[in-house]
C-alpha cells in the first residue's frame, strides 16, 4: 500500500517573472507545453501502476488558492477517473514538516499506520522514469522495515546549491546515513564528489505513515503535537468520499514552520538512503529551465519569437512579443505581458532578490499575472484607462461564475467564441458569437458556459471605480464569499 504525496508549496521566486506567488513554479509551462506538476502527477501514476496493491490514490498538499489549478493539472495529465485525487489544503505555507505530518495523519486515518507515503515535490523534473520506478521499489522495501528513506541523487558535478547526504555501509538495496550536510563550499563539494559516498538531497522520501508520526513525536515533539492538534480539528471533514480537505486554519497556523529535513531527517537514526540516478533536476533557476530547450550553433536558445545577431549563449523566453538580442552573451531574457527580466546566467540564482524588492514596493507583478486563473476559467486584463477596463474572459464548458452585482461599473459583454448563458436581472438569455449584451451597474447577473466548447468573451467595463473588490456575490458554486 503506497500513496504518492505531492508537496506543492513555495513560490518559486527564482523563476520570476513567469513563476509568481499566484501562479508558482509547479504551474509554469515548459517548452513541451506541460507543467512540472502535470509531469509529477503522471510520474506518480506510473508508480501506482507498478505497485499492484496500491489504492491508486494521489494526495496533493497545497495552498487552498491553488486547489482548482491543481485539479486542472490532474485532469490534464489524464488521471481523472483512473486515479483518486485527494487534496489537503493549507490555509498558509508552513514548510514541509507540517505538510508531511498532516499527510501522514490523513493516510493513516484512511489506510492504517502501515501504509507507505512517497513524498514527491511538485516541481522537480525526472528524465529517466524507469530508473525512478526502480528506486521507488527499493525505497518502499526499506520503508517497510521501519526506515525513513531518502533518495540520494548521485552527483555529477560539485554543486554548491544543494545539501548532501553522507552514506555509510550497505543496507538492503540502500545504504545507512551518517549525516546530512548543508549546502557546501565549492572546495567541500569537490571533496564530496571525489569521496563517492555523498549524494544530493532531493527532498523526496518514503516511509510508513505510523512510523513517521512515531519518529516525529520523538525527534520533533513540538511539530508532532501541533500537527496532531490540527488533525484532531480536521479529521471530521474527511469521509470515505471526500476528495478535498481544508486543514483547520487556526491550528495549522500554530505548527512550527520548519522543513522535514531539519525537524526529523537530520535527527533520526532510522534514516536510510537509496542512491539514485534518474536524470533529476529541481529546475531551480532559469539556467536549468533553459537547458531543456535545444541550442543553436552559437548556444542561443529560444522559447517564442526571437532574433539573435552577434549573440552567444543567450536564452530568450517570450510569450507573445518579438525579442531581438544583438551583440550580447550569456544573458537570460524572460518576457511576460507585464514584466521583463534581463539577467546574466551567472546571476540567475539572484532573481529572488528582484522579487523581494518588488514585494517591498508592493508592485503587483511579484504576485499576479495579467491573466488570472479562476475555478471557472480565467480572465486577462487587456487594457485599463480612465473610466474603462477591458478583459478577455474564458469560461470552461459547464462552468459558471457566481451570481453577482457591481455598484460602480456597467459591463458590455461581446461573445467571440462558444455560447454564453447569461442571467441579466430578471431575464435569462443565450448569447452567441458576434452578439452582445449589457449589464448595468446595480443589476444582478451571472455568466455561464452551457456548451461543450470554451466560451471566449470580451468585457468592456465602464464606471468611476473599476477595482476587483466592487463585487457582491449572491451565490457561488465554488464556495467563495
Residues in the site for a second copy, rule: CB under 8 A? 17, 307, 309-310, 318, 321-328, 331, 333, 335, 337-344, 346-347, 350-351, 353-354, 357-358, 363, 365, 382-383, 385-388, 390, 392, 410, 412, 414, 416-417, 433-434, 436, 438, 456, 458, 460, 462-463
For residue 302, the minimal CB distance to a second copy (Å) is 12
Find how far residue 455's CA is from the centre of its chain: 26
Beta bridge partners of 59: 5, 86
Q: Which three cell numbers stand for residue 198?
A: 555523498
Measure the CA–CA gap between 127 and 115, rounded to whole angstroms.
27
Neighbours of 314 (CB within 10 A): 24
For residue 215, the minimal CB distance to a second copy (Å) is 42
By beta-carbon proximity to a second copy, the closer residue of 273 and 302 is 302
For residue 398, what are the CA distances in angstroms to 267, 377, 394, 430? 51, 11, 12, 14
For residue 392, the minimal CB distance to a second copy (Å) is 7
The pairing of beta strand 164-171 with beta strand 198-208? antiparallel
By beta-carbon proximity to a second copy, the closer residue of 254 and 397 is 397
Beta bridge partners of 427: 424
For residue 441, the minimal CB distance to a second copy (Å) is 9
By beta-carbon proximity to a second copy, the closer residue of 144 and 370 is 370
By beta-carbon proximity to a second copy, the closer residue of 55 and 304 is 304
Beta bridge partners of 89: 62, 246
Angle at 22 (CA atoms; ends 18, 24), nearest 5 degrees: 50
By beta-carbon proximity to a second copy, the closer residue of 30 and 458 is 458
Residue given cell 546571476 in the structure block? 347
121 closest CA partner among 18, 206, 37, 223? 37
For residue 327, the minimal CB distance to a second copy (Å) is 3
44 closest CA partner among 53, 56, 55? 56
For residue 24, the minimal CB distance to a second copy (Å) is 18
For residue 455, the minimal CB distance to a second copy (Å) is 13
Measure the CA–CA gap between 190 and 334, rounded to whole angstroms.
32
By beta-carbon proximity to a second copy, the closer residue of 256 and 330 is 330
By beta-carbon proximity to a second copy, the closer residue of 49 and 346 is 346
Amino acid at each position: 500500500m503506497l500513496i504518492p504525496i505531492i508537496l506543492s508549496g513555495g513560490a518559486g521566486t527564482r523563476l520570476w517573472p513567469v513563476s509568481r506567488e499566484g501562479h508558482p513554479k509547479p504551474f509554469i509551462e515548459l517548452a513541451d507545453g506541460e507543467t512540472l506538476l502535470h509531469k509529477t502527477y503522471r510520474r506518480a501514476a506510473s508508480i501506482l501502476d507498478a505497485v499492484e496493491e496500491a489504492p491508486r490514490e494521489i494526495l496533493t498538499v497545497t495552498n487552498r488558492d491553488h486547489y482548482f489549478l491543481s485539479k486542472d493539472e490532474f485532469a490534464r495529465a489524464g488521471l481523472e477517473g483512473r486515479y483518486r485525487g485527494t487534496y489537503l489544503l493549507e490555509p498558509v505555507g508552513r514548510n514541509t514538516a507540517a505538510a508531511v505530518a498532516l499527510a501522514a495523519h490523513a493516510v493513516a486515518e484512511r489506510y492504517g499506520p502501515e501504509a507507505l507515503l512517497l513524498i514527491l515535490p511538485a516541481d522537480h523534473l525526472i528524465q529517466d522514469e524507469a530508473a525512478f520506478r526502480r528506486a521507488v521499489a527499493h525505497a518502499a522495501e526499506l520503508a517497510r522495515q521501519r526506515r525513513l528513506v531518502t533518495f540520494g541523487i548521485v552527483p555529477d558535478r560539485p554543486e554548491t546549491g544543494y545539501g548532501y547526504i553522507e552514506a555509510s555501509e550497505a543496507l538492503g538495496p540502500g545504504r545507512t546515513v551518517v549525516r546530512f550536510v548543508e549546502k557546501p563550499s565549492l572546495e567541500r563539494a569537490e571533496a564530496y564528489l571525489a569521496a563517492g559516498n555523498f549524494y544530493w538531497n532531493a527532498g523526496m522520501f518514503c516511509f510508513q505513515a505510523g512510523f513517521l508520526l512515531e519518529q516525529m513525536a520523538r525527534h520533533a515533539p513540538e511539530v508532532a503535537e501541533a500537527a496532531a492538534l490540527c488533525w484532531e480539528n480536521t479529521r471530521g471533514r474527511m469521509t470515505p468520499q471526500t476528495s478535498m480537505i481544508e486543514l483547520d486554519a487556526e491550528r495549522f497556523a500554530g505548527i512550527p514552520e520548519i522543513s522535514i529535513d531539519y525537524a526529523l531527517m537530520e535527527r533520526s537514526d532510522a534514516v536510510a538512503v537509496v542512491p539514485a540516478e534518474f536524470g533529476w533536476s529541481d529546475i531551480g533557476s532559469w539556467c536549468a529551465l533553459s537547458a531543456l530547450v535545444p541550442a543553436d550553433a552559437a548556444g542561443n536558445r529560444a522559447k517564442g519569437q526571437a532574433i539573435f545577431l552577434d549573440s552567444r549563449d543567450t536564452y530568450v523566453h517570450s510569450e507573445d512579443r518579438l525579442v531581438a538580442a544583438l551583440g550580447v552573451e550569456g544573458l537570460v531574457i524572460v518576457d511576460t505581458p507585464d514584466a521583463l527580466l534581463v539577467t546574466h546566467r551567472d546571476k540567475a540564482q539572484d532573481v529572488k532578490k528582484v522579487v523581494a524588492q518588488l514585494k517591498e514596493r508592493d508592485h503587483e507583478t511579484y504576485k499576479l499575472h495579467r491573466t488570472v486563473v479562476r475555478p471557472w476559467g480565467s480572465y486577462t486584463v487587456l487594457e485599463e484607462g480612465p473610466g474603462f477596463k477591458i478583459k478577455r474572459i474564458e469560461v470552461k464548458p459547464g462552468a459558471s461564475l457566481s451570481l453577482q452585482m457591481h455598484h460602480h461599473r456597467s459591463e458590455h459583454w461581446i461573445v467571440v467564441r462558444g455560447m454564453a448563458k447569461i442571467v441579466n436581472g430578471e431575464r435569462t438569455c443565450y448569447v452567441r458569437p458576434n452578439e452582445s449584451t449589457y449589464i448595468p451597474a446595480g443589476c444582478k447577473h451571472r455568466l455561464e458556459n452551457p456548451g461543450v466548447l470554451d466560451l471566449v468573451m470580451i468585457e468592456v467595463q465602464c464606471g468611476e471605480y473599476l477595482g476587483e473588490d466592487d463585487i457582491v456575490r449572491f451565490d457561488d458554486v465554488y464556495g467563495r464569499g
